[in-house]
């Protein structure tokens, strides 16, 4: 009753919340917070990234978020959309022009040269993870700050490496339970691209008046990008355009055939797309993009059927990532031949898909035990036992500031632990604990001195059970991709 005051007609009116006296600071347009409610997805992404890197032999590295603007102009190309209109740039008082990194390859290539990684055993396989910045028009799937996982392989031009990067990328999405496929193409050697550019200009010259506004600019500045346009009328024109594959030089043709053979051997699902060009200037030979492969007849096991929400544009064909070979980039930086390739995977798009498809993510080292205590006396002992469990490498969850058993058990079942341990007044006196199986509610009393042993014994049994289930899931995921290849 204290919450309500009575008005003249005797009806209670809720006490208003105190007014905010300050305007809350707001987010910068196009930026977004990674919130606790999405933490499990981001964690799954980070864990899948680490596992992929470990399995495929990539070493982690970081480059700074700020680099000289010239680095990106030289790498990505002065006529690219990124350099033309998407970089966050400023000039230092000393006059040096700096930019927030819009992509990862340029920085890694700089670091490789600057730190003499050329003297290491080649190829050098590196991976990175972090934020990137592009001043794009905010829309579904496009942010001004977004995160990428990147893989780069430097110092070796063998086609098996192109397939290895594709296999690692595929493995990453498999760990997340996301079915994907690649669209692949070859851009050939720089001279091939130049010849093809001339052929495209010739083809589009008489058709210029039918192009959309953007494409008129592309025609003048970067004709290869005409093939990227989504405008239906431009797409119609594209259907008759010359195909780069037909003009491919022998070396690139040979390289591409081998890449596809190695990709087949690694069971990487791909489709040829002769119009795939990618927006960055540094690519040579192989290029690819990764797309969500909508499961049809064979629904992957981790997707809970019948629960698909209307998603935010995730079904629309939107690239999850892209990459390719950049055999001439390091030569442009240093004069030295260093063939290389890499991939950048947009992580916001992966997280959006995981959420919209209700995919249950697998996390490592999540607490499987909850420790509930009742009252002040129990809290001290609980504190001691919880620390002992952590020292013994047992992941345990608790809410030591709370007292109510019902509330604590509700939380335990919400986070999905196998067991709850309960320490009340009676157990405190007896030197015992209650061990409750959260799946069936069965409770037993154990000796408090035997806590670690008892918990370890039970968790090992659950892990063995889990491994059996895991093996079945992984077999089914592999079956799915094999059946799609036929
Ligand atoms: P790109 O090299 O430009 O193709 O970028 C590689 C991947 O990064 C894309 O396929 C997207 O998944 C992601 N990405 C690029 N730009 C953005 C952005 N503005 N917002 C969110 N993700 C992005």
> Ligand 1: distance of its center to the CA of 410 in Å?
40
Q: Is the CB of 349 under 6 A from ligand 1?
A: yes
- Confidence band for 480, pLDDT divided at 50, 70 and 90: very low
| Cα 372 → chain centroid | 36
Q: What is the pLDDT of residues 380-392, one digit of tens each?
A: 999 999 999 999 9
Beta bridge partners of 325: 284, 341
Q: Is the CB of 159 under 6 A from ligand 1?
A: no
> Ligand 1: distance of its center to the CA of 82 in Å?
11
pLDDT at 476 over 80: no
Q: Is the CB of 75 under 6 A from ligand 1?
A: no
- Nearest protein CA to atom 16 of ligand 1, as residue: 142
Q: Is the CB of 225 under 6 A from ligand 1?
A: no
> Ligand 1: distance of its center to the CA of 138 in Å?
12
pLDDT at 473 over 50: no
Q: What pLDDT, on the 0 to 100 scale, is given for residue 91?
A: 98
Q: Is the CB of 277 under 6 A from ligand 1?
A: no
Q: Is the CB of 320 under 6 A from ligand 1?
A: yes
Q: What is the pLDDT of residues 41-96, one digit of tens each?
A: 999 999 999 999 999 999 999 999 999 999 999 999 888 889 988 999 999 999 99
The Cα–Cα gap between 343 and 164 comes to 11
Beta-carbon contacts of 469 under 8 Å, excluding residues fewer than 6 positions away, are none
> Ligand 1: distance of its center to the CA of 358 in Å?
22
Beta-carbon contacts of 203 under 8 Å, excluding residues fewer than 6 positions away, are 240, 241, 242
The least confident of 164-178, 197-211, 261-275 is 197-211
> Ligand 1: distance of its center to the CA of 92 in Å?
28
Atom number, ligand 1, closest to the C-alpha of residue 349 = 12
The Cα–Cα gap between 131 and 41 comes to 16
Q: Is the CB of 344 under 6 A from ligand 1?
A: yes
Atom number, ligand 1, closest to the C-alpha of residue 143 = 20
Per-residue b/e over 306-343, b at no fewer than 16 CB within 10 Å? eeeeeeeebeeebbbbbbbbbbbbbeebeeeebbbbbb
The Cα–Cα gap between 446 and 272 comes to 62
For ligand 1, pick from 319, 347, 350 the residue to mutate: most ligand atoms within 8 Å of CB: 319
Q: What pLDDT, on the 0 to 100 scale, is given for residue 44?
A: 96
Cα 204 to Cα 107, 224, 239: the distances in Å are: 35, 11, 12
**Residues 351, 41 contacting (CB under 8 angstroms):** yes
Q: Is the CB of 147 under 6 A from ligand 1?
A: no
pLDDT at 38 over 80: yes
pLDDT at 262 over 90: yes
The least confident of 5-9, 121-125, 471-475 is 5-9
The Cα–Cα gap between 246 and 316 comes to 30
Q: What is the pLDDT of residues 203-229, one digit of tens each?
A: 999 898 899 998 998 898 888 888 888
> Ligand 1: distance of its center to the CA of 396 in Å?
37
Q: Is the CB of 223 under 6 A from ligand 1?
A: no
The Cα–Cα gap between 69 and 11 comes to 66
CA atoms within 13 A on the CB side of 431: 3
For ligand 1, pick from 128, 140, 146 the residue to mutate: most ligand atoms within 8 Å of CB: 146
Q: What is the pLDDT of residues 402-419, one digit of tens each?
A: 989 999 999 999 988 999
Please state, rounded to an integer, the average pLDDT across all residues of the chain. Answer: 88
pLDDT at 317 over 50: yes
CB-CB neighbours of 380 under 10 Å: 12
> Ligand 1: distance of its center to the CA of 292 in Å?
14
Q: Is 296 exposed, middle or buried (0-12, 13-18, 19+ CB in 10 A)?
A: exposed
Q: What pLDDT, on the 0 to 100 scale, is given for residue 445?
A: 97
The Cα–Cα gap between 269 and 127 comes to 22
Beta-carbon contacts of 97 under 8 Å, excluding residues fewer than 6 positions away, are 68, 69, 70, 89, 90, 91
pLDDT at 478 over 60: no
Of the chain, the percentage scoring pLDDT greater than 70 comes to: 88
Q: Is the CB of 324 under 6 A from ligand 1?
A: no
The Cα–Cα gap between 342 and 111 comes to 15
Atom number, ligand 1, closest to the C-alpha of residue 319 = 10
Q: Is the CB of 146 under 6 A from ligand 1?
A: yes
pLDDT at 159 over 90: yes
């Amino acid at each position: 009753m204290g919450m309500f005051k009575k008005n003249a007609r005797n009806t209670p009116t809720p006490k208003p919340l105190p007014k905010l006296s300050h305007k809350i600071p707001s987010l910068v347009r196009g930026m977004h917070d990674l919130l606790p409610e999405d933490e499990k997805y981001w964690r799954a992404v980070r864990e899948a990234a680490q596992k992929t890197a470990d399995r495929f032999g990539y070493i982690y590295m970081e480059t700074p978020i700020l680099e000289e603007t010239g680095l990106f102009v030289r790498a990505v190309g002065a006529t690219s959309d990124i350099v033309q209109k998407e970089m966050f740039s400023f000039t230092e008082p000393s006059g040096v022009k700096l930019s927030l990194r819009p992509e990862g390859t340029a920085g890694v290539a700089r670091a490789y040269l600057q730190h003499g990684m050329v003297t290491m055993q080649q190829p050098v396989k590196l991976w990175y993870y972090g934020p990137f910045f592009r001043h794009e028009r905010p829309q579904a799937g496009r942010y001004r700050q977004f995160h990428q996982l990147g893989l780069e392989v430097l110092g070796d031009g063998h086609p098996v490496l192109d397939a290895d990067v594709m296999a690692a990328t595929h493995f990453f999405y498999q760990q997340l339970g996301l079915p994907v496929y690649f669209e692949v193409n070859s851009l050939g050697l720089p001279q091939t691209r130049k010849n093809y550019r001339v052929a495209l200009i010739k083809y589009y010259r008489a058709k210029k008046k039918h192009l959309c506004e953007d494409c008129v600019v592309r025609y003048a500045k970067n004709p290869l990008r005409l093939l990227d346009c989504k405008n239906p009328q431009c797409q119609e024109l594209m259907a008759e355009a010359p195909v780069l594959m037909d003009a491919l030089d022998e070396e690139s043709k040979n390289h591409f055939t081998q890449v596809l053979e190695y990709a087949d051997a690694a069971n990487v699902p791909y489709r040829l797309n002769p119009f795939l060009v990618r927006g960055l200037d540094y690519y040579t030979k192989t290029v690819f993009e990764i797309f969500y492969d909508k499961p049809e007849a064979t629904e992957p096991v981790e997707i809970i059927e019948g629960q698909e929400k209307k998603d935010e544009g995730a079904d629309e064909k939107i690239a999850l990532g892209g990459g390719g070979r950049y055999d001439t980039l390091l030569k442009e930086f240093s004069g030295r031949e260093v063939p290389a390739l890499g991939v950048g995977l947009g992580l916001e798009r992966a997280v959006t898909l995981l959420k919209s498809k209700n995919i249950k993510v697998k996390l490592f080292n999540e607490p499987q035990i909850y420790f509930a205590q009742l009252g002040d006396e129990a809290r001290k002992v609980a504190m001691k036992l919880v620390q002992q469990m952590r020292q013994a490498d047992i992941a345990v969850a608790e809410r030591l500031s709370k007292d109510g058993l019902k509330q604590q058990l509700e939380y335990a079942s919400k986070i999905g632990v196998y067991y709850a341990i309960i320490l009340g007044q009676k157990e405190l006196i007896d030197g015992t604990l209650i061990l409750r199986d959260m799946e069936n509610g069965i409770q037993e009393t154990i000796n408090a001195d035997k806590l670690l042993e008892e918990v370890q014994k039970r968790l090992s049994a659950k892990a063995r059970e889990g491994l059996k289930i895991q093996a079945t899931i992984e077999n089914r995921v592999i079956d799915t991709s094999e059946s799609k290849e036929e």
